[in-house]
Structure 1
Amino acid sequence: MTTDTLPERLERARRGVAPGGRGTAPRQKRSGSPLARAGLTLTLFALPSLILLVLLNIFPVVYSFLQSLQQGTPSTLPWETPFVGFQNYIDVLTSTQFRDSAIFTLIFTVTGVFGSWIIGLGLALLLRTKIPGGAVFKVLLLLPWIVPVVVSSTSWNWLVATPQSPIPVILGNFGLGDVNFLGDPVLAQVVVCTFKVWISFPFMMMMMSSALASVDVNVYEAAKMDGATPWQAFTGVTLPIISRTTYISWVLMTIFCVNDFPTIFLLTQGGPVGATSSLIVRAYQYAFQNLQTGPATAIAFMMTAVLVIVSTVLYRQIQKANIE
């Protein structure tokens, strides 16, 4: 007969131990949960692919940076060309061609971003109202973005390239004389910037339409009851609510404009007399026409640095919009 107390007998019963037995030692918990072990296993399996992806992305950057510090051609290897350090960056920054290209890139980017945003936002607000055939209009308005840029640039060339093109002929009939859009530096810049807005506003329209769809209609009713005018409701209600999407679209469109090579090259090839040569077109001319990869890659790295700064500033605005 055991002399165990009642609590001890109850403890043995919970462990399934017979009276008088000592029981088994409690099991020790295994280190790490099954989910953590499974995650470690999957990481080990994916590690070779991850290393390969990192190398594929890092190698071109490192290789291009080495080229920017040397004076070579597209066909020469880094160890076969003389090392010049940051002289390529100095030569590019002090050249008048780089200055002109930087100014045009700024004009092209600002016009492309804000021009397409204003038109896209206006069309998004219009299509939000109940108009006959709204779905058909939305599809038609997407065509400039859907059609390949090669087709669009060919069409615009046919419209404005020569004095015998349709638009110069129409303007001549109104007494404006022979207008050579792509032969005049200023008019060529206007045409290129307008073309960029033309092919970009559908993207902004879709971004703004998705943002406006999340705005509650009751907010406008409350603003109307408080005596707000339509403009006050737009600036005080609509714009703050869609600010996050607006900043995101600005970041994306800035990157698209700065790196946009086909839009300019297919329409004017950087002419006339370099008036429409943006930085990306200038880098192409250095690398594949002048066969100077050093200045070309130097321009590319400076463009990347500027894009990182602009994206960081706008990203902070996105974070502020999320907090508010």
Structure 2
Amino acid sequence: MSTETITRGIGRARRGVGNGGAGRPVQFKPSNSNRMPGHRSRSTTLLLFALPSLILLVLLNVYPVGYAGVQSARNGDLLSAGDFVGGQNYLTVLQQPVFWHAALFTLIFTLVGVFGSWAIGLALALLLRTRIPANGLFRVLLLLPWVVPIVVSATAWNWLVATPQSPLPVIANFFGLGNPLFLADPTLAQILVCVYKVWISFPFMMMMMTSALASVDTNVYEASKVDGAGPWQTFRLITLPMISRTTYISWILMTIFCVNDFPTIFLLTGGGPVQSTQTLVVMAYVTVFQNYQTGPGVAIAFLMTLVLVIISVVLYRQIRKVNIE
């Protein structure tokens, strides 16, 4: 069959024309079933069944957010609402150097947490696709940092670095690196919390990437080998594009996890030393529950939410582009 014949056949199929010529178009008449009285009663019944869930959703989500928005426009505390000040709390927060320092460290903490855990998780997912001894055992062991409660793991890490007699400072001193105080030096404390975040987050990324790699057709890799593609070309031109949708989704989720991660900072360093590891969520907590300034603290939380929404929208557009392509 010639290419011209196939092209004509496709054109006829798109126009709804068979091989025998132009057929009579089928006309569909709108059904009047939706206009029946029973349809309205059924819709009303379904709405009544859904009404308790809708009320619960409003009470648990919409009302707290709305009330928090009202608090961010007042100068109250935990006991009283205070006077209405409009956007003064937002201006006060944005003019504080400590806010911008916390925002900068939040950015660093998020970038390291997202891309560090993604790189390690993807590398381990690719490794576990190969035939290695005790593959299943390795999968279980690699999930432990994510499965173990964060209080337990943070306590263990604190024990490793908290004092000069802790294991890591002793090992560093043995190799002639001095006796570093990880929780007293601002730079070392920042490195510590970023490494800890990657350590507890890479199992999640590994699971996401494992599921994405499992959906890639192996015939694509076989075809690339026939075409002479090397390992790096296969990874860059086939693997990454094929798992891009899952990658963007995991980036969105991990960004939300990192920005809103309160336990990691609070349990390891408490935001210190000298507020060097204080993120925006920790700053909001300290402002509200320790300094009793509800308005500025809630304003910080709303600014965080705004940034998260912008990042999520940008990455979601990338997901839609992948779906279109």
TM class, shorter-chain normalised?
0.7 to 0.9
Does 2:110 correspond to 1:103?
no
Which moved further from structure 2: 219-228 or 185-194? 219-228
Structure 1 portions without partners, runs of 5+: 1-27
1:72-120 per-residue CA deviation (whole Å, 9 max, x = no partner) reads 11122x3xx1111111111110101001000000000000000000000
Match of 2:61 in 1: 57
Distance 1:213 1:35 in 2: 45
Q: What stretches of structure 2 of length at least 5 have no aligned partner? A: 1-31
AA at the equivalent of 2:59: L
Output aligned runs, 1:148-163, within 5 Å.
148-163=149-164
Count of residues paired in the alignment: 294
Letter in 2 for 1:246: T
* Secondary structure in structure 2 of the residue aligned to 1:237: helix
Partner of 1:140: 141
1:1-324 aligned within 5 A:
31-32=35-36, 38-76=42-80, 78=81, 81-324=82-325
What is the alpha-carbon distance in structure 2 between the residues aligned to residue 213 and residue 124 of structure 1? Answer: 10
For residues 43 and 129 of structure 2, the distance between their equivalents in structure 1, rounded to whole angstroms, comes to 46
* Matched residue, 2:5: none
Larger radius of gyration: 1
Moved over 3 A (4+): 28-40
- Letter of the 1:62 partner, please give it: G
Letter of the 2:131 partner, please give it. Answer: K
- The amino acid of 1:51's aligned partner reads I
The CA deviation string for residues 40-63 of structure 1, in whole angstroms up to 9 with x for no partner, is 422222223313322331111111
| Aligned partner of residue 198 in structure 1, secondary structure | helix
SS in 2 for 1:162: coil
Q: Distance in 1 between matches of 2:33 and 2:74?
A: 60
- In structure 1, what is the Cα distance between the partners aligned to 2:228 and 2:71? 63
Amino acid paired to 1:102: A
Query: 1:29 offset after TM fit, Å?
Result: 7.0
Amino acid aligned to 1:52? L
Q: Distance in 2 between matches of 1:143 and 1:304?
A: 30
> 1:180-228 CA deviation, whole Å, 9 max, x = no partner?
0110000000000000000000000000000000111110111111111
Distance 1:282 1:156 in 2: 23
Residue 33 to residue 168, structure 1, CA distance change in 2 (3 Å): farther
Matched AA of 2:167: P
Distance in 1, matches of 2:37 and 2:243, equals 43
TM-score normalised over the length of structure 1:
0.88
Measure the CA separation in 1 of the matches of 2:324 and 2:40: 33
Hey, what's the Cα distance between the residues in 1 that align with 2:52 and 2:102? 42
C-alpha distance in 2 between matches for 1:55 and 1:284: 23
Report Cα offsets for 1:19-48 as digits up to 9, x if no partner. xxxxxxxxx978339677544422222223
SS of aligned partner of 1:178:
coil
- Describe the shift of the 1:33–1:226 C-alpha distance in structure 2 as closer, same or farther (beyond 3 A): farther
For the residues of structure 2 that align with 1:31 and 1:256, how far apart are their CA atoms?
48
Percent of aligned pairs with the same amino acid: 67
Instruction: Please list the CA deviations of residues 242-282 of structure 1 after superposition, one character each: whole Å capped at 9, or x if unmatched.
Output: 00000000000000000000011000000000000000000
